[in-house]
Chain A
Amino acid sequence: MTESSRELMRRYRKNGDLLARTRLIEAHMSLVHSLARRYANRGEPLEDLVQIGSIGLIKAIDRFDPSRGVALTTYAMPTIIGEIKRHFRDRGWAVRVPRGLQELSMRLARILEQLTSELERSPTIAELAIAAGVGEEEVLEAIESSRAYATVPLSTQSEGDEDEDVLAGFGAPEPAYEVSEDRAVLAPGLALLDDRERRIILLRFYAGLTQTQIAQRVGISQMHVSRLIRRALDKIRSAIGVVEEASTS
């Protein structure tokens, strides 16, 4: 641990200085990035792994005991890796999917990204199959199997671009009664979504952007956008169901 890290840790441990804790976290984020990169290309976006890893880092900083004579980085490394591995274990494939199909699904996700970039549009099933050197049936099976892959809900700060206008517009007065009524029905569900899910739902269904356009704007893959839309709709549906049950009982 460097002198400044030692001093920051001392201030945090002794005085509960939260600013020192924040600086410690920032000073060790390069370690999180480095470890997260090891687990990239396994079906989860790097940014999500960094967020998961940073939770491990925070836990390590909070539990670290300087009197044991171990460096903070040495102590934090297994905690960060453990957090990332747990993420894969707990939130990975929700149902048993054969390993070959899992691998094909992940390979197709990478090819899909490449083709979308090359063609400047989403590829067809046939184009994806040719690029992957497999049959269309296998592609369809792999796409279906990827629906069994669940991802952790992670809040992502809005980048503060023009999407802000879309979000602001959703809360603004709207003359059309039907729209207001829809909003009232959807409000409990939207409130359950994290920032990124809400942003994606509004961009897709309110601003009318395609999944690919949203993917480019948010910085994740189109397939990941699709998964997040599904998850967000699940949450909204559940919330509406709860409200409806409560109002009829």
Chain B
Amino acid sequence: MASEITLTIPPGREFRDVAHFVLGGLASRVQLTVEHLEDLQIALGEVLACHGGEGALTLEVAS
């Protein structure tokens, strides 16, 4: 069964780690390898950095 998580992150850098932890938890549940998790974390880091922290950001992660 496909897993999907939608996460809305409030503005502020302090919430970015929450997004990384959620992604880690999802990766663990769907048996992703550490390497794939690292790739996703890098991509997430870029999304968060490019967003600039203004306004909430909604992320949808599906497997």
User: Hey, which bits of chain A sit against chain B, CB under 8 A?
Assistant: 112, 121-126, 128, 136, 139-140, 143-144, 147, 210-212, 222-223, 226, 229-230, 233-234, 237
Contact = CB atoms under 8 A, between A and B. Distances in A.
B17 A124 contact: no
Contact of B32 (A112, A124, A144, A147): A124
A226 B27 contact: no
Contacts of A237: 46, 49-50
Give the dominant DSSP class at B's interface: helix
Given A140-B25, A237-B49, A122 B36 contact: yes
Contact of B33 (A124, A139, A140, A143): A124
Given A144-B17, A144-B21, A125 B42 contact: no
A147 B49 CA distance: 15
Contacts of B8: none
Interface of B: 17, 20-21, 24-25, 27-28, 31-39, 41-42, 45-46, 49-50
A229 B42 CA distance: 8
B20 A210 contact: no
Contact of A124 (B31, B38, B42): B31
A210 B33 CA distance: 12
Contacts of B42: 226, 229-230, 233
13 contacts: A112-B34, A123-B33, A124-B34, A125-B24, A125-B34, A128-B34, A140-B24, A211-B35, A211-B38, A223-B38, A226-B38, A226-B42, A233-B42
